[in-house]
């Protein structure tokens, strides 16, 4: 298999690839190759080194999985199948657990495997990831394209697109954080109420956890309602107050021309928010003069991590007993319940803004659940964020620039910790649920969402490295690493949805009834089942699609079946369009000097018949019943019938 540019070999260890017991296949001897980017297994039998010969789990191993995606190395509990012949206490397998729910079981000299893998997959510094050591390799034009990818989001351009004047209106840009001293996890430029001075803004930051004061991220073009985000106030046990923070919220309310009151959407369960007062946090007072507070009951990062681990265990199980109670077992993981809570909250926020209410969203520190709701609400409200470029913009704006802790939550190149949690993956899952239910509203497909999810774990791109802008600037991410968005926009056709319909002026928003969305929530099988013992989707149809040209490969699953059928249909449309152009050329050729001449032979696939003839000009007429002085020329192009009526001047 070809390596990426600058991908080098680090180690090779003899071992065997062991399939789960439910698969029923013997272990395959071979070699584990560790490169600067991936882990890859190659069977000793050369006949098995191309995909499709044994099992799809081996197909994954043949391609490889990024080494930064490894989360844990474990010895499975010794059982009858893994006990050593001489000493039952000695492990005979090593399980490589990946962050994307996949896992490999390797046999052989497991001590050597453990030592080698520990040395090469768990890195001392993010600067040792492939993104820095080889991801941006290339000539100067390539490096420039990558820098443009890192700079894909422009705050001023985004607000100008919304119709917001940041130079003279209720909002303004402050560069108070340009040295990252006011808030180390916020970007240098922030949108705040124009009526607040920089001194007051700094005072507000002191009253909010981690300095994360309320900043504007979206303004509704029609009704001036807006979405703001922040961290919890530092009220503590003494119910501390801040006059600057109160004025800040008052000016946020005043920025709305029609409804001068703010709905504060606290993402947490109310009990959790109240408990945070013990550690100096808390929530806004219910008696706030310019705001009302609601709690949205979204669980914390630890609950999300445990829930996804339950999904991992369920997916890995090959027990036939699960087949008859599958949906119940899926619900037992609580993952879909968490997804429904996030979607329901995002729909509430979007609906409030669409109906003229300004919303201030926060959780504890404002970088996990807050990002989920703000990004999803904008996706529902603004069709721009449902395009390829727009989705990149909202991810950059609400996750990358504003300080979601990707290094702590995902940890490419790091072993599992209590700080890791699939918060961003859950956001992508929510987007996938909306895309699956409303596919014509999105310019991109589920394949893009899977690509973005993989990019957070792979260490190949600099886009999601670090915890904040300050760290990425210190590491030189923009100049030293490749950008995911450069890759995505450079392969637009791969991620573009052929069923997308650009929005009209009267139906730009996507705010369906919550019950419609929540009752259709299901597991994102195309992503979570990649490491499952059983196929995630029904197998492909061996019959070729209609209009297929030449040999057509058999699809691996029903999803790929649709892709092949779509490709064949598009080819057929192209053929018909070519034949139609030829037919029109024939119609133009038969009219020369005002006289209908003998037509030339029709092109292949085109049948021509002159139904009437008279001296004609070349002006076309659209008429249900042509006058007597009209020659009607009919073409049969494939299964299409095209008539050309030529009208004679009176």
Compute the half-sphere exposure of residue 325: CA atoms within 13 Å on the CB side of its CA.
7
Instruction: Quote the CA–CA distance of 365 and 208 in Å, as a whole number.
Output: 9
213 phi-psi bin (left φ>0, alpha ψ -120 to 50, beta other): beta
Instruction: Quote the CA–CA distance of 79 and 105 in Å, as a whole number.
Output: 14
User: Residue 196 corresponds to which tokens in the numbers above?
Assistant: 């607040």
Give, rounded to a whole angstrom, the gap between the first and last alpha carbons of the chain: 72
Instruction: Quote the CA–CA distance of 131 and 149 in Å, as a whole number.
Output: 14
Does residue 96 sit in helix, strand or coil?
A: strand
User: Residue 180 corresponds to which tokens in the numbers above?
Assistant: 């990252």
Closest CA to 334 of 270, 406, 422: 422
- The string of DSSP letters for 316-327 reads H---GGGGGGHH
Instruction: Quote the CA–CA distance of 535 and 5 in Å, as a whole number.
Output: 32
Q: What angle do CA 82, 88, 90 make, to 5 degrees?
A: 80
Q: Where are the alpha helices (DSSP H) in 238-300?
A: 243-254, 270-275
- The answer to whether the beta carbons of residues 244 and 193 sit under 8 Å apart is no
Torsion of CA 144, 178, 453, 295, to 10 degrees: -160
Question: What is the radius of gyration, based on Cα positions, of the chain?
Answer: 30
User: Residue 391 corresponds to which tokens in the numbers above?
Assistant: 């989705």
Name 348's Cβ contacts closer than 8 Å, sequence gap at least 6: 265, 296, 514
**Phi, psi (rounded to 5 degrees) for 359:** -125, 135
Residue 15 annotated to the active site: no
Q: Which of 363, 374, 451, 468 is catalytic?
A: 363
- Residue with tokens 């699953």, as numbered in its chain: 557
Determine which helix (DSSP H) or strand (DSSP E) holds 351, and give its type and residue range.
helix 335-354
Instruction: Quote the CA–CA distance of 493 and 368 in Å, as a whole number.
Output: 31
Instruction: Quote the CA–CA distance of 241 and 270 in Å, as a whole number.
Output: 20
User: Cα 77 from chain centroid?
Assistant: 36
User: Cα 151 from chain centroid?
Assistant: 18
- The answer to whether the beta carbons of residues 93 and 106 sit under 8 Å apart is yes
Cβ of 507: how many Cβ atoms within 10 Å? 10
Hey, which residues does 594 pair with through a beta bridge? none
- The answer to whether the beta carbons of residues 90 and 84 sit under 8 Å apart is yes
Torsion of CA 172, 178, 180, 181, to 10 degrees: -90
Cβ of 63: how many Cβ atoms within 10 Å? 11
Does residue 643 sit in helix, strand or coil?
A: strand
Hey, which residues does 647 pair with through a beta bridge? 630
| 3-class SS shares of the chain: helix, strand, coil, % to 5 | 40, 15, 45
- Which residues are catalytic, by number? 363
């Amino acid at each position: 298999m070809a390596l990426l540019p600058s991908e080098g070999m680090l180690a090779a260890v003899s071992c065997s690839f062991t399939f789960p017991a439910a698969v029923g296949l013997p272990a395959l001897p071979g070699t584990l190759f560790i490169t600067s980017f991936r882990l890859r297994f190659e069977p000793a039998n050369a006949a098995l080194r191309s995909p499709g010969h044994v099992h799809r789990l081996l197909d994954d191993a043949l391609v490889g999985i990024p080494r930064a995606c490894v989360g844990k190395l474990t010895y499975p509990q010794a059982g009858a199948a893994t006990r050593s012949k001489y000493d039952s206490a000695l492990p005979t397998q090593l399980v490589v657990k990946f962050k994307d729910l996949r896992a490999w079981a390797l046999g052989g000299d497991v001590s050597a495997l453990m030592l080698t893998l520990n040395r090469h997959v768990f890195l001392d510094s993010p600067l040792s990831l492939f993104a820095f050591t080889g991801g941006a390799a290339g000539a100067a034009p390539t490096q420039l394209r990558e820098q443009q990818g890192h700079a894909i989001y422009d705050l001023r351009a985004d607000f100008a697109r919304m119709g917001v004047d940041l130079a003279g209106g209720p909002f303004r840009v402050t560069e108070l954080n340009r040295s990252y001293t006011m808030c180390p996890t916020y970007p240098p430029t922030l949108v705040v109420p124009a009526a607040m001075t920089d001194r007051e803004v700094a005072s507000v930051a002191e009253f909010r956890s981690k300095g994360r004061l309320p900043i504007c991220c979206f303004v509704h073009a029609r009704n001036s309602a807006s979405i703001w985000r922040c961290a919890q106030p530092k009220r503590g046990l003494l119910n501390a107050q801040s006059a600057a923070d109160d004025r800040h919220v008052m000016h946020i309310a005043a920025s709305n021309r029609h409804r001068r009151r703010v709905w504060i959407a606290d993402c947490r369960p109310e009990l959790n928010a109240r408990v945070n007062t013990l550690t100096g946090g808390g929530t806004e007072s219910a008696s706030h003069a310019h705001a009302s507070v609601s709690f949205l009951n979204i669980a914390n990062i630890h609950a999300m991590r445990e829930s996804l681990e339950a999904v991992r265990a369920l997916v890995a199980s090959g027990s036939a007993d699960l087949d008859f109670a599958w949906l119940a077992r899926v619900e037992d993981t609580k993952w879909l319940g968490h997804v429904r809570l996030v979607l329901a909250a995002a729909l509430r926020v979007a609906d409030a803004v669409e109906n003229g209410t300004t919303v201030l969203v926060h959780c504890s520190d404002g970088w996990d659940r807050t990002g989920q709701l703000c990004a999803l609400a904008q996706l529902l409200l603004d069709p721009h964020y449902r395009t390829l470029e727009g989705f990149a913009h909202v991810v950059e704006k609400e996750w990358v620039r504003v300080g979601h802790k990707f290094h702590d939550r995902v940890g490419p190149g790091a072993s599992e910790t209590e700080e890791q949690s699939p918060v961003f993956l859950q956001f992508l899952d929510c987007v996938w649920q909306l895309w699956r239910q409303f596919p014509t509203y999105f310019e991109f497909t589920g394949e893009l969402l899977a690509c973005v999810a993989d990019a957070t774990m792979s260490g190949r791109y600099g886009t999601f490295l670090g915890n904040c802008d300050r760290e990425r600037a210190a590491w030189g991410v923009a100049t030293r690493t490749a950008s995911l968005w450069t890759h995505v926009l450079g392969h637009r056709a791969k991620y573009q949805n052929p069923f997308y319909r650009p929005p009209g002026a009267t139906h730009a928003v996507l705010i369906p009834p919550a019950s419609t969305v929540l009752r259709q929530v299901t597991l994102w099988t195309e992503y979570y089942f990649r490491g499952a013992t059983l196929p995630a989707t029904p197998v492909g149809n061996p019959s070729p699609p209609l209009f297929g040209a030449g040999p057509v490969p058999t699809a691996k699953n029903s999803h790929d079946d649709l892709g092949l059928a779509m490709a064949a249909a598009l080819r057929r449309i192209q053929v018909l369009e070519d034949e139609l152009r030829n037919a029109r050329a024939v119609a133009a050729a038969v009219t020369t000097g005002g006289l209908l001449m003998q037509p030339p032979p029709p092109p292949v696939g085109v049948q021509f018949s002159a139904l009437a003839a008279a001296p004609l000009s070349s002006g076309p007429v659209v008429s249900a019943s042509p006058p007597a002085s009209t020659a009607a020329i009919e073409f049969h192009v494939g299964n299409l019938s095209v008539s050309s009526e030529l009208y004679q001047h009176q």
